[in-house]
Amino acid sequence: MSSSPSASASAAEIAHAAQRMLDGELAAFPTETVYGLGADAENPQAVAKIYAAKGRPSNHPVIVHIAPHGDVAYWAANVPPEAQLLIDAFWPGPLTLILKRAPHIVDTVSGGQDSIGIRCPSHPVAQALLAAFAAGKPNGQGGVAAPSANKFGQVSPTRAEHVRNEFPDEVAAGMPVLEGGASDVGIESTILDLSRLDRGAGPVLLRPGHISAAQIEAVLGVQVFAPDAAAPRASGTLKAHYAPRTPLELANEARMNDVLAGRNLPEGRVVLVAYGPQPAAADPRVQWQPVSADPARYAQALYGLLRDLDGQGYARIIVQAPPATDDWHAVNDRIGRAAAAFTLDTTGL
């Protein structure tokens, strides 16, 4: 079953998914970034089901999603002025803020740390689900813990069918997967650490995304720093992540020329994902796959493309390295982590 760009969950389906989470079960839902695998953030047993389904290490934190009317102060021990400025500027949207966790919030969502990641998604289905879930809570404060709805370390889902393919057993057992069309952003949210401002650390960019460091700096009027050794652990920041099952290689210009000439290729067909102009001729074992030279459009299509290519029997996916510029930072981060999952020696093939 495929989702179409106009597909959207009904009010009844959203209500059912919200009730499942209130009952301590899982539900998958669309956001503007990627599809999430959600559970009640205040129910440790429910959050544990996320970790079990994904095969995710228990010390790897998950992000708590709240509705636009949600109270950040319920989840965080304090909300610094910097956080409020960014909330006003970018929420609802693809920005996760790491804040000090409120004492009454269980540390299951933060991998045992004293911090918590919070965001408010802009996708209308996600907002409707979060509102329905919060309405079912006695105090009206509902947060949904939701990492990407894929097995740990694999390519994130940007369509409902990706989730169904990833979790057939859970779907067969009744897990709702809400339709919401293809994700508009296509890569995970920007993660910014504000949990250590009182100690003179930060703001620190833990994961790049659609909202850039420059945009954040323009709002805060201060520099955004790179992660330091004491930075909290955050979703999607392991060296190897976002990887397809087919070996993936990141290629510079010299390696691109080798590939096109058929030098140092594995047995079988390979696909070359490239944003430049298609060459007049290439080795017949190389399939050319064009992608947009615009970083936002490239990001939107990236995960869906990797999933599609993963099922076509290629011996290797070779990706042209994008420019090392700020506007490509998030894309380079995701491709670099995907390639890091494979150690490929291209000199002795």
Q: Which residues are annotated as a binding site for ATP?
A: 56, 148, 156, 207, 242
The most distant pair of C-alpha atoms in the chain lies apart, rounded to whole Å, by: 65
Q: Which residues does the annotation place in the binding site for L-threonine?
A: 33, 65, 119, 146, 189
What distance in Å separates the CA atoms of residue 292 and residue 279, rounded to the nearest whole number? 16
- Cα gap 130→64, rounded to integer Å: 11
Task: Identify the burial level of 93 via C-beta atoms within 10 angstroms of its C-beta, where 0-12 means exposed, 13-18 middle and 19 or more buried.
Answer: buried
- Contact criterion met (CB below 8 Å) for 39 and 50: yes
Q: What are the CA-CA distances from residue 301 to residues 120, 182, 274, 315, 319 (Å)?
A: 23, 9, 13, 21, 14
Report d(CA 336, CA 249) in Å as an integer.
9
Q: How far apart are CA 195 and CA 102, in angstroms?
A: 12
Residues making up the annotated binding site are 33, 56, 65, 119, 146, 148, 156, 189, 207, 242
Dihedral Cα 68, 205, 238, 93, nearest 10 deg: 20
Is residue 204 a contact partner of residue 233, using CB atoms and an 8 Å limit?
no
